[in-house]
Structure 1
Amino acid sequence: MSDFVQIVRDDGIAVITLNHPHTRNAIADESCIQAIVTALAEISADPALRVAVLTGAGPAFCAGGSLQSLGQLAAGEPIANEERYRNGIQRIPRAFQQLDIPMIAAVNGPAIGAGLDLACMCDIRIASTRATFAESFVKLGLVAGDGGAWLLARTLPLARAYEMALTGNAIGAQQALEWGLVSRLAEPETLMDAALTLAGAIAANPGHAVRMTKRLVDASQLNTLDSVLNLCASMQALAHTTEAHRQALRLMTEHMRSKS
């Protein structure tokens, strides 16, 4: 794997760090894209993991694309560039969509352009009070080629999504909290502690239930109630047969008896 991504596993939690602080963790080339896609496939396939945290090394979460890569695209032909997007950065949101465990974004600093979109690909976002967010493509005469419009419209109220996408202006951490882009804030020095505490609360639950619940919440965004109810019935039928469920019932029964 490229040194762009580091993974540390501990007690059911994977911490994924974008590790190019010298580029502000920009998704600069194919090797960066492949590193993210590979990391997501690796943690999804690990049955010992229940949850993951994504953060950035250094002062930035992710600065988006690099000026060098944008310059190469500006010199290319439209048809070739279309294929570069389909076979390049668009592989990242597709990989997130296939991820079986929940992902928490610990946004430690600026999340700009594709960096904001990367945060929106995560299931939960918490942020440092020093974080900033911008869907800045329009300022460069571009659109979000990684699906940012779709992501923003499912993360924010529609008017807020339009405002961010159409102005390209940055918002700070407090505004991001007020708008619902992030669910909580932490001081910079306590951000990872906050993210790991939240991850630990998720990881404390049986792994199969965490993965099934993530899938159901994901499905609810794209499917009808009938479709999700059918999926619920199938998953719940399987969940009832697990030893983790039986053990939880035994513990709850013992607890209730001790209270009586």
Structure 2
Amino acid sequence: MAEFLRYEQDGHIVTLTMNEPDRRNPLTGNTAVPEFLAAIARIENDRSVRAVILTGAGKAFSSGGDIKDMERQASGQVTGMQIRQEYRQGIQRLPLALFNLEVPVIAAVNGAAIGAGLDLACMCDIRIASGHAKFAESFVKLGIIPGDGGAWLLPRLIGLSRAAEMTFTGQVIDAEQALAWNLVSRVVAPEDLLPIARTLAEQIAANPPHAVRMAKRLLREGIHARLDTLLEMSAAFQALSHQTSDHREAVAAFLEKREPVFKG
């Protein structure tokens, strides 16, 4: 079986491409989850990586769950407890790993992001959409619920009312509506999607990697932490940051009116 996830590194930037276009890049019924987990672990352990771009091959970003796998789960061939374990040991490991990855991840949404495919995009830090992109929290259309963390992720991005509308109706929204609802930060021409994602990744990668990683951690913790807790974390992270060579280089470059060179 061909690999689902193509891993490519150019300088400090890794591009992950879901590469099963004939099936619209599903996240179940294949090796998607273990390949994602392996790629995330590889990125975490490679200090040269400073930004990640995630996209899909073909016309879709990701169609979410595989319908044939759902047919098996609905057939009575497996018990409810077995299905529960399949979720816990399968796709539910993906939001935990991707959400907690310290390196910033840009979702370059090239086409349809449906169900778990939408939730996958929501696990990323930044979402850029092609004009061809479409989004749907479509689980209800199949008589199921968001089993991969979508009910936690989506309201934090677009608000509870809009998340409820998408979840309860399963409606499809286009890229412009996704932009108006703050689901994505920009909409670009299809041919510009990856070049713009690359430019953004390079802007991130140009900064001191320790500062970017710790800033991302604070943003993630800020979703559910109290202000006083986050301030304590910020003080600790800041104490570490002030003692790094990249901080000293930044200060020296500013005073000397030159471009800094950050080595990580």
Q: TM-score, with normalisation over the residues of structure 1?
A: 0.96
- Letter aligned with residue 215 of structure 2: T
| 8 Å contact kept, 1:12–1:50 | yes
Residue correspondence of structure 1 range 1-150 to structure 2 within 5 A: 3-29=3-29, 31-75=31-75, 76-150=78-152
**Aligned sequence identity (%):** 50
Question: Which residue is equivalent to 2:229?
Answer: 227
Question: Which residue is equivalent to 2:261?
Answer: none
| 8 Å contact kept, 2:12–2:51 | yes
Give CA deviations for 1:50-87 in whole Å, capped at 9, x if unaligned.
Answer: 11010000110000011111111112221111111111
| 8 Å contact kept, 1:30–1:88 | no
Question: Which residue is equivalent to 1:198?
Answer: 200
State the alpha-carbon separation in 1 of the partners of residues 126 and 116 from structure 2. 17
Equivalent pairs counted in the alignment come to: 256
Q: Secondary structure at the match of 2:31?
A: helix
State the alpha-carbon separation in 1 of the partners of residues 247 and 218 from structure 2. 18
State the alpha-carbon separation in 2 of the partners of residues 6 and 44 from structure 1. 17
CA RMSD after TM alignment: 1.3
User: Would you identify which runs of 4 or more consecutive aligned residues in structure 1 move more than 6 Å?
Assistant: none
CA deviation after TM superposition for structure 1 residue 131, in Å: 0.3
Q: TM-score, with normalisation over the residues of structure 2?
A: 0.94
Question: Which residue is equivalent to 1:239?
Answer: 241
CA deviation after TM superposition for structure 1 residue 28, in Å: 2.9
Unaligned runs of 5+ in 1: none
State the alpha-carbon separation in 1 of the partners of residues 197 and 37 from structure 2. 22
State the alpha-carbon separation in 2 of the partners of residues 161 and 183 from structure 1. 17
CA deviation after TM superposition for structure 1 residue 97, in Å: 2.6
State the alpha-carbon separation in 2 of the partners of residues 159 and 104 from structure 1. 25
| 8 Å contact kept, 2:99–2:124 | no
Question: Which residue is equivalent to 2:160?
Answer: 158
State the alpha-carbon separation in 1 of the partners of residues 69 and 218 from structure 2. 37
